[in-house]
Amino acid sequence: MEGDGSDAPVTIKNIERELICPACKELFTHPLILPCQHSICHKCVKELLLTLDDSCNDMGSDNSNPSSPRLWVPSPSMDKIDRINRPGWKRNSLTPRTTTFPCPGCEHDVDLGERGINGLFRNFTLETIVERYRQAARAATAIMCDLCKPPPQESTKSCMDCSASYCNECFKIYHPWGTIKAQHEYVGPTTNFRPKILMCPEHETERINMYCELCRRPVCHLCKLGGNHSNHRVTTMSSAYKTLKEKLSKDIDYLIGKESQVKSQISELNLLMKETECNGERAKEDAITHFEKLFDILEERKSSVLKAIDASKKLRLDKFQTQMEEYQGLLENNGLVGYAQEVLKETDQSCFVQTAKQLHLRIQKATESLKSFRPAAQTSFEDYVVNTSKQTELLGELSFFSSGIDVPEINEEESKVYNNALISWHHPEKDKADSYVLEYRKINRDEEMLSWNEIEVCGTNKVISELESNCNYAFRVRAYKGSICSPCSRELILHTPPAPVFNFLFDEKCGYNNEHLLLNLKRDRVESRAGFNLLLAAERIQVGCYTSLDYIIGDVGITKGKHFWAFRVEPYSYLVKAGVASSDKLQEWLRSPRDAVSPRYEQDSGHDSGSEDACFDSSQRFTLVTIGMKKFFIPKSPTSSNEPENRVLPMPTSIGIFLDYDKGKVGFYDMDHMKCLYERQVDCSHTMYPAFALMGSGGIQLEESITAKYLEYQEDL
């Protein structure tokens, strides 16, 4: 148990940063040890889980009610807290991320498992050190007695069995001699009470007595006999204690013995920092000089171009002014016309000829000007448009000398966007790069470029979250070797889905035909088996059409908002239908064929490959498109061409479906280019479900959400 802490101010005065929670940035409060061995406050784990749970609810991926088809209903926050905390709570298959979150310390995803928070150990050692630090920090602040009548007295002891602090008088009253309480363990005043025995969180009545070397955590004998650690290598607690304490003591002694060396290295680092600061300022000055030279060249070219434009403008205006003066003279020739009319009245031939010759020349010149009007100059300055495209591209690539670091290239085939963006790249000289910086920014519709966001990455791929829906994003990456960086790669433009991603799995209960359909364990892939059962029913096809589509639907319904999901159809598939359908329409489709006539050719049933097109109605309660034989068939409609060549498209690698429940609209997208292939109205007065149907051989794979890889523990004890 803890000591009196008399030397605490000396030993813990410089360790405050080790006692700060990476999530709340405050001193730890009831710290828990995560699977990655980092510690985090109990309340911070709750908040992180609830935040992720809320985000899952917003996308319609939270728990569904027991009925089938199931409908997503958001749960109150207190219910979530109780669910996360209560013993034996198990995750639903629809909410795999409820107990998974990125560790604030190392940013790797950690999974708390089925028991959630209850499966974590409380870090009592860290909690004790924090308490010592608090006491050293407040020094004069006294801990008051918990049992005194107001006003309470200053406590002198704390009972570890009672988890309370007492003054001398109250301690004598509540721990009288000759009673069991007199045997309680007491220490100096403290607010940190810890159990005497560490119990197993998996088996709450069992004492911790072993240490799992693979998972690096204490376990009990039941964990080893039949629990999660049955095949793991374990050692006794005393052996683990001795080994770890020896290693830690040895490392501490080494650090203390190297104190003079550390001080020398600190001095060297200070010198290096000053040298770096001087070199950095010098590099900035050099860069400013280079840019000022570019500015001077641009200013010179700007002045030259503007002078040329002004000179051309002046010349043209002068020509227009001269021409305008000539035509102004025509207006003044009204007097000339009157004078000519008077000359025509002259009857003496010799006098008329003497005057009319010069007058005729003046009249003829004015007439020719009116017959052939042509502006003296052009108004367009098309020849004076400055072409800066090449220079802009060169300036955009302006960077430092790469010093041999090649430019990384973004892999467009592996990079994609769904619920998050996954950007992958390769580097010809991968071993020469220490790290990479991935930059991304949103491109507005008016082509306005926002500032770049930067993320430092150690590997060659990165998952980027919290991107806005229905937006274009530009991505680029550069490599770093020490303090030298390469030029940026070419930009990759990706378009995010038109709505948040809707998470669901295939429902194995509602309408699922296990004779024809094969569903995998994860329930994200289904295959149609056109095999022996279909041959057995062949004689029925001779007398009637009993062969129908085999339907399978999503296990979560939609009652509001905008949602998007994607899937892949296997290239060998003969006939697949995909889209949305209302709950009441599904009940019609999934009723037993023994109790009703086969709905294969019912006009509004959707079983016939063209039935959903025959009745184009805005009140239709479903919309399905046909996919098969590596083709995507656009349904017929009054507003589109019904020619086959205009309705049959190559099948996209991945197909997306966008449902706007509030506006009653559904769209089908080519995921590779995020392009809408087909859109129409649909009746959303009931709960809507993702719906699929298969006939013959075929397969459907739901698009997997993009998430960071789980942390792998490779270090042994």
Residue 668 confidence class, pLDDT cut points 50, 70, 90: very high
Question: Based on the domain organization, do 573 and 709 belong to the same domain?
Answer: yes
* Assigned domain for 424 exists: yes
Write b or e for each residue in 258-291: b if 16 or more Cβ atoms lie within 10 A of its Cβ, otherwise e. eeeeeeeeeeeeeeeeeeeeeeeeeeeeeeeeee
Q: Report the CATH number at residue 470.
A: 2.60.40.10
Question: Based on the domain organization, do 452 and 584 belong to the same domain?
Answer: no
Q: Which residue has the higher pLDDT, 433 or 643?
A: 433
* Assigned domain for 419 exists: yes
Q: Rank 135-149, 158-172, 261-275 by mean pLDDT and report only the highest.
A: 261-275
Question: Based on the domain organization, do 539 and 438 belong to the same domain?
Answer: no
642 has a pLDDT exceeding 90? no
Question: Based on the domain organization, do 486 and 522 belong to the same domain?
Answer: no
Question: Based on the domain organization, do 264 and 323 belong to the same domain?
Answer: yes
Instruction: Give the end of a domain, one of 141, 164, 193.
Output: 141
Question: Based on the domain organization, do 673 and 569 belong to the same domain?
Answer: yes
Q: What is the pLDDT of residues 505-563, one digit of tens each?
A: 999 888 778 888 899 988 999 998 765 555 555 555 444 444 578 899 999 999 999 99
* Assigned domain for 329 exists: yes
Least confident of 87-101, 123-137, 402-416, 546-560: 87-101
Q: Rank 194-203, 444-453, 688-697 by mean pLDDT and report only the highest.
A: 688-697
Question: Based on the domain organization, do 482 and 359 belong to the same domain?
Answer: no
CA angle, 215 as apex, 212 and 218 as ends, to 5°?
45
CA–CA separation, 471 vs 700, rounded Å?
28
Instruction: List, in sequence order, the alpha helices (H) in 399-542.
Output: 532-536, 538-541
Instruction: Give the end of a domain, one of 464, 496, 528.
Output: 496
The reported pLDDT for the residue numbered 98 is: 55
* Assigned domain for 307 exists: yes
* Assigned domain for 15 exists: yes
Q: Rank 226-230, 467-471, 654-658 by mean pLDDT and report only the highest.
A: 654-658
What's the structural domain count of the chain?
A: 4
Q: What is the pLDDT of residues 476-502, one digit of tens each?
A: 998 888 767 788 888 899 999 999 999
Instruction: Give the end of a domain, one of 83, 114, 141.
Output: 141
CA–CA separation, 421 vs 415, rounded Å?
8
Both tokens assigned to 334: 């009204």
Question: Based on the domain organization, do 279 and 418 belong to the same domain?
Answer: no
The reported pLDDT for the residue numbered 102 is: 82
The reported pLDDT for the residue numbered 643 is: 56
Q: What is the mean pLDDT of residues 173-184?
A: 82
What's the domain range around 549? Answer: 517-591+620-715
Strand residues in 49-143 grouped as ranges (E): 100-102, 109-111, 121-122
Question: Based on the domain organization, do 441 and 524 belong to the same domain?
Answer: no
Q: What one-letter code names the amino acid at 242?
A: K
For residues 393, 399, 402 and 406, what is the CA-based torsion angle, rounded to 10 degrees? -40
607 has a pLDDT exceeding 50? no
Question: Based on the domain organization, do 324 and 453 belong to the same domain?
Answer: no
* Assigned domain for 5 exists: no
Give the global pTM. 0.52
* Assigned domain for 62 exists: no
CA–CA separation, 634 vs 648, rounded Å?
6
Q: Rank 54-63, 214-223, 261-270 by mean pLDDT and report only the highest.
A: 261-270
* Assigned domain for 302 exists: yes
Q: Report the CATH number at residue 135.
A: 3.30.40.10
Percent of the chain scoring above 70 in pLDDT: 77
Q: Report the CATH number at residue 530.
A: 2.60.120.920
Question: Based on the domain organization, do 578 and 528 belong to the same domain?
Answer: yes
Q: What is the mean pLDDT of the chain?
A: 77
Least confident of 211-215, 380-384, 558-562, 707-711: 707-711
User: Secondary structure of 568-598 in the HEC alphabet?
Assistant: EECCCCCEEEEEEEEHHHHHHHCCCCCCCCC
Q: What DSSP line would sit under 141-178, residue for residue?
A: PPPBPSSSPSSPPBP-EEETTTTEEE-HHHHHHHS-TT
Q: What is the pLDDT of residues 272-320, one digit of tens each?
A: 899 989 988 998 898 899 889 989 988 988 898 899 889 989 998 998 8
Question: Based on the domain organization, do 546 and 463 belong to the same domain?
Answer: no
